[in-house]
Amino acid sequence: MRKQGRHFLQIPGPTNVPDRILRAMDLPTMDHRSPEFGELGLRVLNGMKTIFKCSGPVFIYPASGTGAWEAALVNTLNPGDHVLMYETGHFSTLWKSMALKIGLQPEFLQGDWRSGADANAIENRLRDDTAHDIKAVCVVHNETSTGAVTPIDQVREAIDAAGHPALLMVDTISSLASIDYRQDEWGVDVTVGGSQKGLMLPPGLSFNAVSDKALAAAKTCASMKAFWSWEDMAGPNATGFFPYTPATNLLYGLAEAIDMLHEEGLENVFARHDRHAEATRRAVQAWGLEILCSEPNHYSSSLTAVRLPEGHDADAFRKAVAENFNMSLGNGLSKLAGRVFRIGHLGDFNDLMLAGTLSGVEMGLELAAVPFERGGVQAALSYLASEARGNAGGQ
Ligand code: PLP
């Protein structure tokens, strides 16, 4: 049956693609060896440095985020290398499994799937590694399965305090262009990003932002690679080209996305995400439901994962929302399946879209007979209105 109106795509990525980006991509595909393409290539390769806040190169792959995870590992680490990873949830677990599959030796610091990485635990482990066997520390900035953020500046401080030379690699797939991130200032060696979340693009592009230290490691790295090789990319990238056919139309969209983020101002983009996350948490608390992230300092500004009371199936609730209100909410992943649902509030998103999203959740709770208190939407609206009043007063 035809569904009226726009679908509410409130999973934590892929996110809603704004019309302006759709229009930017709706152009004839250009010759990827033409001078015009070189200009576009330089524009996006340099533009992405302003998003990662880095001075080193950014490599752009026509791949999902998983590809950029692999690129980060195979360009810097040697077979058998020991890497320290932190179990924040489903995505850190997948990255660890990948490390194992490609012949690294990941050590997984145990987490509770309810908070970000504990920088003290990382520091203690690194202090014990007096032989400096650990070659890299890998953390997920925003764990999309739980809605918990790891403070990357604290991880940097932990590595420095231990006096350890390991590389620092960070997955920002669901935080880039949504939550404050500073590659150079925080001394990150490789940042992994993806197109389909804060960058407001469809899936299909992913990124490695790379420090000098990581480039130096790449020079002596013996891991098997071909498609992912930074070295093969760097030559053509210098003039805006790629060693193979790039995803041309996605790059048109990327150039537009970078412009849009700077028109709004990155600090304003982060503040908007913070505000929508706070409004969402107020709704969840008013409903009497539990936010999965148990550490308020780690609350995510791009998504909120919500626990349903014992005996209530989060997937049945999501099904009721999808069928009745044409809205997709994120599901619980792996061990959280059926236990939580996730509200995505990132990307091209505004107050009224959040109001609609939370209304769909509140009506869905009622339809699925989940016990809850009414008034969550109202709590969010009151907060958003008070914030708008505050902003108007300041003008
Ligand atoms: N890392 C995080 C934090 C993610 O949220 C995702 C996907 O949602 C991935 C990695 C994997 O990215 P992709 O599905 O684009 O391969």
ipTM of the assembly? 0.99
On whether the CB atoms of residues 57 and 237 are closer than 8 A, the answer is: yes
Is residue 204 over pLDDT 80? yes
**Taking the CA of residue 340 as centre, how many other CA atoms within 13 Å lie in the half-sphere pointing to its CB?**
26
Report the separation in Å between the CA atom of 342 and the middle of ligand 1, taken as the mean of its atom positions. Answer: 15
CA of 173 to the centre of ligand 1 (A): 6
SS3 state of residue 121: helix
CATH 3.40.640.10 positions along the chain are: 19-262
Of 60, 66, 146, the residue with max ligand 1 atoms within 8 A of its CB, to mutate for a pocket test, comes to 66
Contacts of 90 (CB under 8 A, 6+ apart): 143, 144, 145, 146, 333, 334, 336
Å from CA of 14 to ligand 1 middle: 10
* For residue 169, pLDDT beyond 80: yes
% of the chain exceeding 70 in pLDDT: 99
pLDDT at 393 over 70: no
For position 89, what pLDDT does the model report? Answer: 98
Q: What is the pLDDT of residue 310?
A: 96
What is the percentage of the chain residues whose pLDDT exceeds 90?
A: 98
CA 90 to centroid of ligand 1, rounded, Å: 10
Question: Is residue 335 packed enough to be buried (19+ CB in 10 Å), middle (13-18) or exposed (0-12)?
Answer: exposed
pLDDT of residue 391: 83
Dihedral of alpha carbons 114, 274, 280, 356, sign: negative
The yes-or-no verdict on residue 395 having pLDDT over 80 is: no
Output the CA 64–ligand 1 centroid distance in Å. Answer: 8
Among 88, 98, 174, name the best residue to mutate to test ligand 1's pocket (greatest count of ligand atoms within 8 A of Cβ).
174
Give, using CA atoms, the residue closest to atom 9 of ligand 1. Answer: 65
CATH 3.40.640.10, applies to 19-262 = yes
Write down the residue that tokens 């760097």 correspond to. 234
Question: pLDDT at position 224, please?
Answer: 96
User: What confidence tens digit (pLDDT) does each residue in 11-48 have?
Assistant: 999 999 999 999 999 999 999 999 999 999 999 999 99
Chain segment 235-264, per-residue pLDDT in tens: 999 999 999 999 999 999 999 999 999 999
Q: Which atom of ligand 1 is nearest to the CA of 142?
A: 3
- What's the pLDDT at 1? 79
> Residue 145: is its pLDDT beyond 60?
yes
By C-alpha distance, which of 335, 329, 303, 304 is closest to 317? 329
The continuous run of DSSP H or E covering 314 comes out as helix 314-325
Q: In the prediction, which pLDDT does 392 show?
A: 80
Instruction: With residue 9 as reference, give the H or E element that holds it.
Output: strand 8-10
The annotation status of 342 as a binding-site residue, yes or no, is yes
pTM value? Answer: 0.98
* CB 276, CB 120: distance < 8 Å: no
Q: Residues 141, 172: contact at Cβ < 8 Å?
A: yes
The CA 22 to ligand 1 mean position distance, Å, reads 22
Q: CB within 8 A of 229, min separation 6: which ones?
A: 75
- Supply φ then ψ for residue 320, to 5 degrees: -65, -40
Q: Which atom of ligand 1 is nearest to the CA of 67?
A: 16
Which protein residue's CA is at the shortest distance from atom 12 of ligand 1?
Answer: 65
Residue spans in the chain of domains classed CATH 3.90.1150.10: 8-14+265-393
Cβ neighbours of residue 164 under 8 Å, at least 6 residues apart? 126, 127, 129, 132, 134
pLDDT at 394: 52
* Closest atom of ligand 1 relative to the 64 alpha carbon: 15
Beta strand pairing call for 82-86 and 134-140: parallel
> Stretch 279-299: mean pLDDT, rounded?
98
**d(CA 161, ligand 1 centre) in Å:** 30
Q: What is the pLDDT of residue 121?
A: 98
pLDDT (mean) for 294-320: 98
Q: How many helices (H) and strands (E) does the chain have?
A: 13, 14
Residues within 6 Å of ligand 1 by CB: 13, 64-66, 91, 140, 144, 171, 173-174, 194, 203
CB 306 within 8 A of CB 334: no
* Ligand 1 mutation target, pool 60, 97, 142, 173, most atoms within 8 A of CB: 173
Tokens 């939407």 belong to residue: 377
- What is the Cα–Cα distance from 14 to 220, expressed in whole angstroms? 36
Q: If you measure from the C-alpha of residue 61 to the centroid of ligand 1, how many angstroms do you get, rounded to a whole number?
A: 14
pLDDT in tens, 33-92: 999 999 999 999 999 999 999 999 999 999 999 999 999 999 999 999 999 999 999 999
Name the average pLDDT for the chain.
97
Query: How would you class 131 by CB atoms within 10 Å of its CB: exposed for 0-12, middle for 13-18, buried for 19 or more?
Result: exposed
Comparing C-alpha atoms, which of 301, 280, 345 is closest to residue 10?
345
Q: Which atom of ligand 1 is nearest to the CA of 143?
A: 3
Is 261 within 8 Å of 115 (Cβ atoms)?
no
Q: Per-residue pLDDT averaged across 151-163, rounded?
A: 98
Contacts of 194 (CB under 8 A, 6+ apart): 13, 64, 65, 68, 173, 174, 176, 203, 205, 206, 207
Instruction: Give the mean model confidence (pLDDT) for residues 257-281.
Output: 98
Q: Assign 317 to helix, strand or coil.
A: helix
Atom of ligand 1 nearest to the CA of 13: 8
For the CA of 203, the closest atom of ligand 1 is: 15
The pLDDT tens digits of the residues spanning 171-193 come to: 999 999 999 999 999 999 999 99
Domain 8-14+265-393: which CATH class? alpha beta
